[in-house]
Chains A and B, each alone.
Chain A
């Protein structure tokens, strides 16, 4: 046994130290699966589609490689107004989702952080509980709730607010309900993590000095929770820009979202360079929020 261990030990090359293994293994994993694919998408977006295959980018003329960049996908993207409109509408849906989540989630997280200590673990668990149920099934449930003869319309009819069923499903409104519903926990949790660490002495000091509670809230609580607000907003905004499932199930055919365009370019039109170009432009759009988010992550505040 001991000699076996020794043989094993000797067969490990000397440069492979524990430290190198611990760092190198996850590094290789993420570089290959998260970084390399983006480079390949960039390459394909600059290639030409030849019948069913993507043309090679590098061709050899004698000893010299000639690199052919085909920017036609990007030119088409820039010239077609529908793409521009779709990008703008994705960003505005993501923006409204973020604002509504913040509006609902901030007071929620604030009251949660001020609830009796022994309750807080339970309250947090209740926020995470829906997450354990399939996201797809919950969005599907909203479809059931929002159809013309669904529960929401029936309830509104019963209390007499409306006289005939209103069209909710397949409108921008139902899309926003689904988006806010799915992303709200991602806003609440970082806000709660931040607000529960707020030092109560600042608030007491402000109160002692005669500051009105509302003024204290605006001048002390909100600025101190800035990191939580930014983290929550990024966690909602970035994935919301590229959302595909929610618009497909709740948005109807007329809501423009870039995730759906990407999906159709790839699955229906089989146009890989175009799908690649749509992806690269989407990546550029979320680059700044992504940088802010990564900065927060590395500082360990989010």
Chain B
């Protein structure tokens, strides 16, 4: 195979894989505008399922609960993720560092059912002993925050690794106390990573069905739990409408934050260049 043929082979390979990855998303959006009751037959364009979605109070309540849990879970995850990334990145030697590193990365690959079941059995044991916590928002939050902390650790840790440590050293030389170095130098520098960790862990929580099913109590159904129970029964066009709404919202947020971080990055580079010229 000569190099032109190889190039075209590469391009078509990539195109096919991208098509495979995006096909379901386009289908969701397209069929949300389909008037037919059958998800598979195209009749004509309509907003019928969006109207049905707006009247679906069960689903709307579930979306609200999911948004609450996702927001809180993202906050907690970024907080603990920041600490564990710092511990692993800044302290090279301490007893049990290997264990912490394993514990922080295991939830990333551990099957959801194992995490969900084991957390639930522990929470039930705690409840039997102390009478607390009731299963509900708090227990779901704990599960999501555990998973989120693992992801936030990866994101923040990689940012800390590639960060220029000279800036922190300079601040220390100029007499900053450790806390000031952190809040005046380190924190602003890792802000983009904290922001993307927040978005990532928010999405993870908003998307989770297995952990929530194990950890939720009566009266606490998250959005994925409602979708899952409906999808098990069959196909339901208002789910397509809901999917389209989430896709639009998520795309706007992702694009906006990407543009924001790019601008921040450019601004920082400009400032650095300026500082060096002076």
B14, A34: Cβ atoms closer than 8 Å: no
Among the 9-residue stretches B48-56, B107-115, B168-176, B268-276, the one with 4 or more Cβ atoms under 8 Å from chain A is B107-115
Instruction: Verify if A175 is at the interface (C-beta below 8 Å from B).
Output: no
What B residues does A33 contact at CB under 8 A?
119, 142, 146
Provide the bound-state CA to CA distance between A165 and B17, in Å. Answer: 25
Whether A243 contacts B121 in the complex (CB less than 8 A), given A25-B80, A141-B27, A151-B27, comes out as no
CB-contact partner of A133 in B23, B25, B109, under 8 A: B25
Q: Which residues of A contact B11 (CB under 8 A)?
A: 111
A residues apposed to B, CB below 8 Å = 18-19, 22-23, 25-27, 29-31, 33-38, 40-41, 44, 104-105, 107-108, 110-112, 114, 123, 125-127, 129-145, 147, 149-151, 181, 184-185, 234-235, 238-239, 241-245, 248-249, 259, 262-263, 266, 272, 275-276, 279, 282-283, 286, 290, 293-294, 297-298, 300
Q: Is the CB of A145 within 8 A of B122?
A: no
Interchain nearest-CB distance for A288 vs B (Å): 13
Query: For B84, what are the chain A residues with a Cβ–Cβ distance below 8 Å?
Result: 26, 29-30
Which residue on A lies nearest to B27, using beta carbons?
A: A141
When the two chains form their complex, are residues B13 and A111 in contact, meaning their CB atoms are under 8 A apart?
yes
Interface-lining segment among B130-138, B184-192, B203-211? B203-211
Return chain A residues, CB-CB under 8 Å to B235: 140, 143-144, 147
Nearest A residue to B118 via CB reads A37
B interface, CB within 8 angstroms of A:
10-11, 13-14, 17-18, 20-25, 27-28, 31, 38-41, 80, 83-84, 86-87, 90-91, 94, 96, 98, 100-115, 117-119, 121-122, 125, 142, 146, 149, 153, 161, 178, 203, 206-207, 209-210, 214, 224, 227-228, 231-232, 235, 239-240, 242-243, 246-247, 250-251, 254, 258
Chain A interface helix/strand/loop/mixed: helix
Can you name 22 A-B pairs with beta carbons within 8 Å?
A22-B83, A23-B94, A26-B87, A26-B104, A29-B146, A40-B122, A41-B117, A44-B121, A108-B17, A111-B11, A111-B14, A112-B14, A114-B10, A135-B207, A136-B231, A143-B235, A150-B40, A238-B110, A249-B231, A275-B117, A294-B106, A297-B101
B70 shortest CB reach to chain A, Å: 12
Nearest CB to that of A147 among chain B residues?
B40
Query: Are A245 and B121 closer than 8 Å at their CB atoms?
Result: no
Query: What CA separation (Å) do A130 and B254 show in the bound complex?
Result: 12
The answer on a CB contact under 8 Å between B27 and A22 is no
- Nearest 8 CB-CB pairings of A with B: A242-B111, A26-B84, A141-B24, A111-B10, A37-B118, A30-B103, A37-B122, A238-B109
Cross-chain contact A144 with B111 (CB below 8 angstroms): no
* Beta-carbon contact of A283 and B113 below 8 Å: no
A137–B249 Cα distance when bound, in Å, is: 15
Closest to A148 in B: B40
Cβ-defined contact, A242 with B104, below 8 A:
no
| Inter-chain contacts of A145 with B (CB < 8 A) | 23-24, 27
* CB-based contact A262/B113 at 8 Å: yes
* Cross-chain contact A293 with B104 (CB below 8 angstroms): no
**Contact (Cβ within 8 A) A26 B25:** no
Q: How far is the CB of B116 from chain A (nearest CB, A)?
A: 9
Q: Given the complex, which residues of B lie within 8 Å of A184, measured CB to CB? A: 17, 20-21
Residue of B nearest to A44 (CB): B121
Contact, CB under 8 Å: A249 / B100: no
